[in-house]
């Protein structure tokens, strides 16, 4: 492990450069965007299952009145962790999984701009998940809700509720540590998002294949681009709020503590200034996915491509001006309420543009009812319901009735589950053959879809009614005789139908892994360039970097005709194993590695690295340092800081790619 | 940063990026965009809390504006040092480059030492993290800025060391330029902090 300056491989690095190409180390040190995408997907899906189990526990507890399965304390931790897990550790990283895997493929690049930064993002995300869940062994998990309002996040459990003085001290200590896990856990997760947003923005701006102008970008790439900007600007805002919270709970500052002159409403502003852009961070990837899926299965180009692009941008801009619609009940005054109510209604306009464009895409198409299409249509339908209930929230007097009731719970599940999750499953079924070379079983996929659609509506539809009926959210139980028993039981049944649908999906994965139908390069007759390469793609993605001459490049290579006569399939270069034929664009294809170099032996790819993992590992260690006290604190902080710094230095000093011997 | 290895097609090499701007530089600008929001949030918090002093020290009562003006001047001069260092490496004058990079780092360190001294004086006057919302927002804002300066100094020192070991050839001047971008940004943030945190509140809350 010593630095041996003579050896070419270890020249500038403390460790010998990792070389494994298979096995666990090859995955730990990988910098290949496709492998990182797969890691992201698997980890996020694992967290999705954890969050799902938490949801089932919540639903079982609420299935009947005055249930005693869970204590109030356990319930608080469960619903908080359910929300945090789903948002930060399932939906966001599932989006990141698609970004990672697809972005370079869709723009005809061999990797992202900063492959090691990409690996770093993944490991940081994983360490954030491990860190926040480690609280379960150290005094409990965060319990203040996902938005963790002040001063609840400072005061914690009511001290008068516990009799013995000793218990009060324990409860207070537990509360502090839970908030430490909340603030630092999300802080670490935010660093991962920030790093990927920088990476994706640079990749999209700088790594496009020749001819890939911005207005020829696949629409999913546009969604990635816009989402990355939202992350870039939203993460620092919540980052500051989380630091302030950490200083408040752990080091006695007075940011949000009203007793010491702090302003709890400031936390709300900071949280939602991040929080509303965040909901678009959660939905835009799914929007991008369905905008890819619907055209392929309707066999028509995306209706209103430019309107789709500009509505994405409009949503992202307006998304910064609506945050206080989460705070109408905080008493901001009539002017602020009216302004934010109006801006919220405005944001429904570009959202409506998207919905009509999806309908326009399907309209008159030759529709193939495959699983990805079903999930895509599911998104369009379910998200519309959620969007409409969102507009009802924006009417301030009505909002006073709805806020903090199950009506809001219904709203955000229609947008985040009915929207994001359906979209992400559409993407999973659609791109699975590209990633693995095998198709997921379509019959099981349809079973999955219908079970999920039914289960989803049975679970969340009645929440509208319960909310209107005044059932507050975040109560661990309710009295008999409120008239809420029936729908609560139905919702719990619905939750188990959803669980069954997920079981079908997992079975589908397991079966397909062994004997799925081989997919070939382009099983769906798709339109974008990621389908030009093999399934799964080689680690350098493309033999030759494609020359782009049209939006829907691949489709234009496969078909001639279109606007004037019916499209006819030509035998041109859909993939390397097809004869490139006559297609004019093909002769211009860029050689992979400058003139005179062809063939993959010469394609130079970035080398794997240990440093991203090392730097990422330092973060939770430093976090446990904040949690601990005394000398342990100093030791852990020092160790964590040392790991981060040495990881970063080693990283900078080693070259991105080793020279071939 | 990976110039010595064979190029990765499409990465790191200025002539082969879609926009002709190097990836590293674009990443630095992107990151700086994010940092604007970071400091914006901290400064906003401070502005909201500047009047909430809980019977503790007020801005006019606690700040030593002449002292901070001097350290501000030194930090500003460090930006000049950075510019000269970049010009030197671009011109291939490596010794001059090392001199200026070290001078820049030293000026940054002087600024940090001034901040450290200021904090100890404040602590002696019962003005610390927990005194009031005003104090909390002051220390967290200026502390995070100091952390940025410290990271910048580490990078400058790393460049100096690399140059001494002959690992920072002239072609790598873009790396210097990127770190320079960061350094200038941190300076500009300080100009805003100095104005908004020290000057204006000290003038407007001055007794009499
Ligand atoms: C047409 C678009 C939308 C409108 C008009 C809208 C409007 C609103 C309003 C006014 C609230 C506040 C309700 C209250 O607490 O009283 C709200 C809450 C919420 N929305 Fe939306 N929304 C829209 C889209 C979305 C999307 C796309 C997502 C996520 C993917 C989302 C996620 C949420 C969440 C998580 C909450 C609840 C936050 C909480 O209180 O815990 N919304 N929405
Ligand atoms: Cu919102």
**Domains of chain A by range and CATH?**
1-27+589-661 (no CATH), 31-65+73-588 (1.20.210.10)
In whole angstroms, give the CA distance from residue A194 to residue A281.
Answer: 12
In whole angstroms, give the CA distance from residue A351 to residue A359.
Answer: 13
pLDDT for the residue numbered A595: 37
Task: Compute the C-alpha angle A264/A268/A272, nearest 5°.
Answer: 170
Best A225, A261, A604 member to test B by mutation, with max B CBs in 10 Å, is A261
Other beta carbons within 10 angstroms of residue A303's beta carbon come to 21
pLDDT for the residue numbered B203: 77
pLDDT of residue B204 exceeding 80: no
In whole angstroms, give the CA distance from residue B133 to residue B45.
Answer: 9
Q: Which of B30, B35, B48 sits opposite A266 (nearest CB)?
A: B48
pLDDT for the residue numbered A70: 93
pLDDT of residue A4 exceeding 50: no
In whole angstroms, give the CA distance from residue A559 to residue A385.
Answer: 37
- Whether residue B116 is contained in a domain is answered as yes
What CATH number has the domain bearing residue B181?
1.20.120.80
- The alpha carbon of B20 is separated from its chain's Cα centroid by a whole number of angstroms, namely 28
For residue A495, what are the contacts with CB-CB under 8 A and spacing of at least 6? Answer: A55, A56, A59, A455, A459
Least confident of A8-22, A43-57, A568-582: A568-582
Higher pLDDT pick, A359 / A588: A359
Other beta carbons within 10 angstroms of residue A301's beta carbon come to 15
pLDDT of residue A594 exceeding 60: no
The pTM of the full predicted model, rounded to 2 decimals, is 0.90
Tell me the per-residue pLDDT of A296-329, one tens digit each, with 9 for 90 and over. 999 999 999 999 999 999 999 999 999 999 999 9
Q: How far is the CA of A406 from the centre of ligand 1 (A)?
A: 13
Closest ligand (CA of A330): 1
Burial of A448 (0-12, 13-18, 19+ CB in 10 A): buried
- Whether residue B90 is contained in a domain is answered as yes
In whole angstroms, give the CA distance from residue A17 to residue A30.
Answer: 11
In whole angstroms, give the CA distance from residue A20 to residue A563.
Answer: 51
For residue A446, what are the contacts with CB-CB under 8 A and spacing of at least 6? Answer: A371, A374
- Whether residue B24 is contained in a domain is answered as no
In whole angstroms, give the CA distance from residue A416 to residue A394.
Answer: 18
Range of the domain at B174: 31-42+62-203
pLDDT of residue A572 exceeding 90: no
Q: Which residues does ligand 1 sit against, CB inside 6 Å?
A: A 147, 279, 282-283, 325-326, 344, 347-348, 351, 387, 390-391, 393-394, 399, 402-403, 408, 411-412, 415-416, 419-420
Closest ligand (CA of A283): 1
pLDDT of residue A69 exceeding 80: yes
Q: How far is the CA of A346 from the centre of ligand 1 (A)?
A: 14
* Exposure b/e, A311-324, CB count within 10 A at least 16 = b: bbebbbebbbbbbb
What's the average model confidence in pLDDT over B5-27?
A: 64
Kindly state the DSSP code that residue A548 receives in the 8-state scheme: P
Tell me the chain A residues in contact with residue B140 when contact means C-beta distances shorter than 8 Å: 243-244, 247, 253, 255
In whole angstroms, give the CA distance from residue A176 to residue A155.
Answer: 9
Is B7 an 8 Å CB contact of chain A? Answer: yes
- The alpha carbon of A27 is separated from its chain's Cα centroid by a whole number of angstroms, namely 21
Least confident of A575-579, A603-607, A609-613, A642-646: A575-579
In whole angstroms, give the CA distance from residue A411 to residue A405.
Answer: 10
B79 within 8 A of B105, measured Cβ to Cβ:
no
Cis omega (within 30 of 0) for bond into A478: no
Kindly state the DSSP code that residue A518 receives in the 8-state scheme: E
pLDDT for the residue numbered A586: 36
Determine the residue of chain A that is closest to B38 in CA distance: A236
Q: Which of B12, B133, B167 sits opposite A255 (nearest CB)?
A: B133
Q: Which of A197, A237, A253 sits opposite B130 (nearest CB)?
A: A253
How many Cβ contacts (< 8 angstroms) between chains A and B?
A: 147
Q: For residues A177, A180, A181 and A183, what is the CA-based torsion angle, rounded to 10 degrees? A: 160
B27 within 8 A of A198, measured Cβ to Cβ:
yes
Other beta carbons within 10 angstroms of residue A453's beta carbon come to 21
Closest ligand (CA of A411): 1
Tell me the per-residue pLDDT of B92-122, one tens digit each, with 9 for 90 and over. 999 999 999 999 999 999 999 999 999 999 9
Cβ contact (<8 Å) for B26 and A206? yes
Q: How far is the CA of A140 from the centre of ligand 1 (A)?
A: 28
Tell me the chain A residues in contact with residue B1 when contact means C-beta distances shorter than 8 Å: 652, 655-656
Cβ contact (<8 Å) for B130 and A212? no
Structural domains of chain B, count: 1
Share of chain A above pLDDT 90, in %: 72
pLDDT for the residue numbered A369: 95
pLDDT of residue A607 exceeding 80: yes
| Residue B114: half-sphere exposure toward Cβ, Cα within 13 Å | 21
pLDDT for the residue numbered B21: 86
Cβ contact (<8 Å) for A243 and B10? no
Cβ contact (<8 Å) for A254 and B42? no
For residue B162, what are the contacts with CB-CB under 8 A and spacing of at least 6? Answer: B168
In whole angstroms, give the CA distance from residue A472 to residue A475.
Answer: 7
Nearest to A112 by CA among A194, A200, A30, A39: A200
Nearest to A440 by CA among A369, A507, A534: A507
What's the average model confidence in pLDDT over A273-288?
A: 97
In whole angstroms, give the CA distance from residue A66 to residue A590.
Answer: 69
Query: Quick one: which atom of ligand 1 is closest to the CA of A91?
Result: 30
Tell me the chain A residues in contact with residue B26 when contact means C-beta distances shorter than 8 Å: 201-202, 205-206
Cβ contact (<8 Å) for A263 and B133? yes
Least confident of A46-55, A367-376, A527-536: A527-536
Q: Which of B1, B5, B140 sits opposite A244 (nearest CB)?
A: B140
- Whether residue B55 is contained in a domain is answered as no
Tell me the pLDDT of chain A averaged across its residues. Answer: 88
- Whether residue B20 is contained in a domain is answered as no
Tell me the chain A residues in contact with residue B8 when contact means C-beta distances shorter than 8 Å: 110-111, 604-606, 656-657
Best A5, A110, A656, A661 member to test B by mutation, with max B CBs in 10 Å, is A656
Tell me the pLDDT of chain B averaged across its residues. Answer: 89
In whole angstroms, give the CA distance from residue A376 to residue A358.
Answer: 10
Cβ contact (<8 Å) for A655 and B4? yes
* Exposure b/e, A153-166, CB count within 10 A at least 16 = b: bbebbeeeeeeeee
Q: How far is the CA of A154 from the centre of ligand 1 (A)?
A: 25
Residue A199's pLDDT band, with cuts at 50, 70 and 90, is very high
pLDDT of residue A6 exceeding 50: no
Other beta carbons within 10 angstroms of residue B166's beta carbon come to 8
Residues having C-beta closer than 5 Å to ion ligand 2? A 276
What's the average model confidence in pLDDT over A288-303?
A: 95
Tell me the chain A residues in contact with residue B139 when contact means C-beta distances shorter than 8 Å: 253
Rg value, chain A, Cα: 26
pLDDT of residue A421 exceeding 90: yes
Closest ligand (CA of A148): 1
Is B48 an 8 Å CB contact of chain A? Answer: yes
In whole angstroms, give the CA distance from residue B109 to residue B125.
Answer: 24
pLDDT for the residue numbered A473: 94
What's the average model confidence in pLDDT over A403-408?
A: 96
Tell me the per-residue pLDDT of A424-469, one tens digit each, with 9 for 90 and over. 999 999 999 999 999 999 999 999 999 999 999 999 999 999 999 9
Cβ contact (<8 Å) for A198 and B5? no
pLDDT of residue A379 exceeding 90: yes
What's the average model confidence in pLDDT over A142-161?
A: 77
- Whether residue B70 is contained in a domain is answered as yes
Give the CA distances from residue B11 to residues A11, A110, A202, A345, in Å, rounded to whole numbers and listed in that order: 21, 9, 10, 43
Residue A593's pLDDT band, with cuts at 50, 70 and 90, is very low
Tell me the chain B residues in contact with residue A589 when contact means C-beta distances shorter than 8 Å: none
Query: Quick one: which atom of ligand 1 is closest to the CA of A283?
Result: 30
Nearest to A132 by CA among A172, A191, A180: A180
pLDDT for the residue numbered A585: 36
pLDDT of residue A168 exceeding 80: no
- Whether residue B2 is contained in a domain is answered as no
pLDDT for the residue numbered B12: 41
Share of chain A above pLDDT 70, in %: 89
In whole angstroms, give the CA distance from residue A599 to residue A538.
Answer: 12
Most confidently modeled of A354-358, A547-551, A609-613, B127-131? Answer: A354-358
* Exposure b/e, A273-288, CB count within 10 A at least 16 = b: bbbbbbbbbbbbbbbb
- Position of tokens 């309710």? A478
- Whether residue B93 is contained in a domain is answered as yes
């Amino acid at each position: 492990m010593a630095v041996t300056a003579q050896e070419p491989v270890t020249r500038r690095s403390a460790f010998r450069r990792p070389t494994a190409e298979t096995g666990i180390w090859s995955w730990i040190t990988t910098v290949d965007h496709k492998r990182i995408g797969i890691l992201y997907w698997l980890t996020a899906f694992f967290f999705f299952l954890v969050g799902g189990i938490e949801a089932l526990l919540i639903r079982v507890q609420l299935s009947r009145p005055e249930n005693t399965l869970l204590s109030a304390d356990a319930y608080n931790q469960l619903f908080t962790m359910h929300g945090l897990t789903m948002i930060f550790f399932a939906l966001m990283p599932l989006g990141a999984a698609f970004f990672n895997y697809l972005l370079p493929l869709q723009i005809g690049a061999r990797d992202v701009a900063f492959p090691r930064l990409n690996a770093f993002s993944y490991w940081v995300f994983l360490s954030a998940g491990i860190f926040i869940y480690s609280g379960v062994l150290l005094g409990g998990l965060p319990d203040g809700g996902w938005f963790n309002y002040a001063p609840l996040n400072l005061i914690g459990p009511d001290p008068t509720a516990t009799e013995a003085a000793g218990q009060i001290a324990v409860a207070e200590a537990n509360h502090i540590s839970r908030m430490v896990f909340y603030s630092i856990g999300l802080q670490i997760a935010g660093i991962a998002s920030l790093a990927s947003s920088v990476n994706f923005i640079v990749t999209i701006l700088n790594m496009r294949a020749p001819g890939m102008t911005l207005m020829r970008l696949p629409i999913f790439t546009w969604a990635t681009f816009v989402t990355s900007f939202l992350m870039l600007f939203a993460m620092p805002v919540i980052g500051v709020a989380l630091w302030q919270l950490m200083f408040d709970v752990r080091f006695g500052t007075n940011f949000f503590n009203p007793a010491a002159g702090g302003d709890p409403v400031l936390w709300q502003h900071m949280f939602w200034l991040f929080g509303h852009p965040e909901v678009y961070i959660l939905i835009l990837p799914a929007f991008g996915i369905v905008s890819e899926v619907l055209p392929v299965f309707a066999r028509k180009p995306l209706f209103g491509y430019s309107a789709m692009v500009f509505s994405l941008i409009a949503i992202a801009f307006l998304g910064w001006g609506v945050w206080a619609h989460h705070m109408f009940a905080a008493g901001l005054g009539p002017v602020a309420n009216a302004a934010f109510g109006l801006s919220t209604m405005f944001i429904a306009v570009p959202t409506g543009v998207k919905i009509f464009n999806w309908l326009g895409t399907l309209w008159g198409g030759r529709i193939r009812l495959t699983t990805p299409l079903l999930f895509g249509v599911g998104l369009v339908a379910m998200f519309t319901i959620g969007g409409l209930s969102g507009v009802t929230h924006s009417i301030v007097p009505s909002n006073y009735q709805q806020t903090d009731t199950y009506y809001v719970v219904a709203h955000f599940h229609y947008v985040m589950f009915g929207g994001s999750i359906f979209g992400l499953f559409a993407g999973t079924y659609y791109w699975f053959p590209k990633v693995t070379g095998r198709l997921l079983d379509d019959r099981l996929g349809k079973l999955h879809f219908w079970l999920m659609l039914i289960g989803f509506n049975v679970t969340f539809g009645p929440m509208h009614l319960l909310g209107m009926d005044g059932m507050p959210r975040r109560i661990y139980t309710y009295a008999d005789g409120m008239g809420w028993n029936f729908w609560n039981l139905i919702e719990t049944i619905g939750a188990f139908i959803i669980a069954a649908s997920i079981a079908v999906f997992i079975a589908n994965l397991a079966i397909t892994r062994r004997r799925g139908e081989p997919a070939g390069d382009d099983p769906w007759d798709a339109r974008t360039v990621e389908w030009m390469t093999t399934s799964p793609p080689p680690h350098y993605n493309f033999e030759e970097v494609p020359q782009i001459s049209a939006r829907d490049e691949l489709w234009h290579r496969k078909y001639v005709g279109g606007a004037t006569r019916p499209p006819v399939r030509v035998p041109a270069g859909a993939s390397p194993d097809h004869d490139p034929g006559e297609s004019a664009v093909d002769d211009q294809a860029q050689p992979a590695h400058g003139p005179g170099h062809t063939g993959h032996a010469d394609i130079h790819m970035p080398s794997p690295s240990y440093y991203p993992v090392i730097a990422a590992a330092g973060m939770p260690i430093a976090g446990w340092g904040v949690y601990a006290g005394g000398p342990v604190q100093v030791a852990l902080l020092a160790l964590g800081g040392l790991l981060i710094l040495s990881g970063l230095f080693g990283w900078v000093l080693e070259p991105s790619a080793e020279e071939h011997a | 940063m990976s110039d010595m290895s064979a190029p990765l097609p499409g990465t790191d090499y200025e002539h082969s990026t879609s926009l002709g701007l190097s990836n590293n530089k674009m990443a630095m600008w992107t990151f700086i965009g994010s940092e604007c929001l970071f400091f914006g949030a901290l400064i906003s918090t401070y502005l909201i809390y500047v009047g909430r002093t809980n019977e503790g020290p007020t801005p006019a009562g606690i700040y030593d504006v002449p002292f901070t003006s001097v350290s501000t001047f030194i930090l500003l001069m460090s930006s000049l040092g950075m510019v000269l260092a970049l010009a030197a490496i671009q011109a291939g004058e490596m010794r001059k480059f090392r001199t200026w990079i070290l001078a820049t780092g030293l000026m940054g360190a002087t600024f940090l030492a001034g901040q450290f001294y200021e904090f100890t004086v404040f602590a002696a006057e019962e003005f610390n993290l927990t005194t009031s919302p005003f104090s909390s927002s002051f220390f967290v804002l200026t502390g995070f800025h100091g952390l940025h300066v410290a990271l910048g100094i580490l990078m400058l020192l790393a460049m100096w060391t690399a140059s001494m070991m002959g690992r920072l050839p002239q072609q790598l001047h873009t790396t210097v330029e990127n770190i320079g971008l960061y350094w200038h940004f941190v300076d500009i943030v300080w100009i805003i902090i100095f104005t908004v945190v020290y000057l204006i509140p000290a003038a407007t809350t001055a007794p009499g």
